Amino acid sequence: MLPKEKAFMQETILSIQNLRKTYGAKTALKDVSIHIKKGTIYGLIGQNGAGKTTLIRILNQIIEADSGQILLNNQIISPEDIKSLGYLPEERGLYKNMSIEEQALYFGQLKGMTKTAAKEQLNYWLERFDIVNWKKKKIQDLSKGMAQKVQFIITVLHQPELLILDEPFSGFDPINAQLIADEIKNLAKHGTSIIFSSHRMESVADMCDALSLIHHGEIVLEGSITDIQKKYAKEIYEIHLMDADKNLVTAFLEKEAYSTKIIEDSAELKLEVTKANTTDDLLKEVLCIGKLTLYKQYVPSLQEIFIKTIENA
């Protein structure tokens, strides 16, 4: 994770307040509230149909919410703010019969840039990705990976304050995915706030500072990645013991302060202990049972946390 010491991180760029959206009888979003700090990468995760796309479309002002409001830089978002947003949709698409340059100038100008500024930015990014000689190539002549790079350039060309990236790594090979990941982190470092929507938990864990998990249109989990992992890490321990005293083990298993599961009972006894009462000193207790070979606080992966949260939701 990137060190975040910049002052701008204290300011809230986006504040989504009690957003609600229904399609006929189906509720797509139920009182969704999210607050995103400037210069952070904020993960938006959830299963298909959870409401992520609806939320992104409302942010992009493609559709309207039934109630609730969105503040961008503490002002209610307006059509004028479109130029402050950059959106990379999951389903990528560009005009196939236009060249990269024509395309960039078109989208850049639609986002309020002058032709000169759009040209300058395009050259900057083409040089950064080392693809200057592609400028005149038509999208239909590019490979999928190449087109994805162009799509990324077009998304960031107008230097938006808030970038919404929906599955930004899909379609990229590992090397190019890393290249894009570095660019995203770099943009955040320089003050761009990023909403990162993805199903791939490992990339969310690697990229994001904070996240929201949406399930059936509701936020069921939110906070910084560290806090979330800390919260779930507190309860479960993996303990390995040699020469354990069977009677003491039986007595320990019966203790109400813990919920204990035997993972393996061979030469080494492997236990998974969930603390019910955090005030008890687990380490002290297990030291009496046998020779301790491993005492590890179990940190579940984001994937596991999400599955568990969704199961309990």
Partner 1 sequence: MHKLLLIIKREFLTKVRSKAYLVLIFLSPLLMLGMFAAIFYFASKEEKANDSKISLLTITTPEINRELSKVHPNIEYQQGNAVSFNQAKQLVDDMNYNGLIYANPSLDLMEIYGDKNIPFQSLKSILEKHKRKYLLAQNNINPSLITQVTNTQMVHVTHKEQSEDEIKKWVKGTVAVGTGYLVMMFVIIYGNSVMRSIIEEKNSRVIEIMVCTVKPFQLLLGKIIGNALAGLLQFFIWGALLLVGLFLIETSFPSSGGEAEKMAQIFTVIWDINYLEIFISFVLFFLSGYLLYSGFYASVGAAVNSETDTQQFVHPILLPLMFAVYIGIVTVVNGNANGSTATLFSFIPFTSPIVMLMRIPYGVPTWQIILSLALLLVSFITTVYIASKIYRIGILTYGNKPNIKQLVKWMFQK
Tell me which residues touch partner 1 (CB under 8 A). 23, 57, 60-64, 66, 79, 82, 85, 87, 89, 91-98, 106-107, 109-111, 154-155
Tell me how far, at minimum, the Cβ of 44 lies from partner 1, in Å.
16
Closer of 67 and 297 to partner 1 (Cβ): 67
- State the residue for tokens 């380490």: 283
Q: Which residues contact 175 (CB under 8 A, 6 or more apart)?
A: none
Closer of 57 and 137 to partner 1 (Cβ): 57
Backbone angles phi, psi at 287, to 5 degrees: -65, -25
Tell me how far, at minimum, the Cβ of 4 lies from partner 1, in Å.
28
**Helix 100-110 to helix 115-128 angle, to the nearest 10 degrees?**
130
DSSP letter (8 states) at residue 220:
E
Tell me how far, at minimum, the Cβ of 89 lies from partner 1, in Å.
4
Closer of 93 and 174 to partner 1 (Cβ): 93
Closer of 164 and 188 to partner 1 (Cβ): 164
Q: Which residues contact 254 (CB under 8 A, 6 or more apart)?
A: none
Over the Cα atoms of the chain, what is R_g? Answer: 24
Q: Which residues contact 290 (CB under 8 A, 6 or more apart)?
A: 241, 242, 243, 244, 245, 248, 249, 269
Tell me how far, at minimum, the Cβ of 87 lies from partner 1, in Å.
5
Closer of 81 and 209 to partner 1 (Cβ): 81
Report whether 210 contacts 223 (CB < 8 A): yes
Q: In this structure, which amino acid lies at residue 107?
A: F
Tell me how far, at minimum, the Cβ of 193 lies from partner 1, in Å.
16
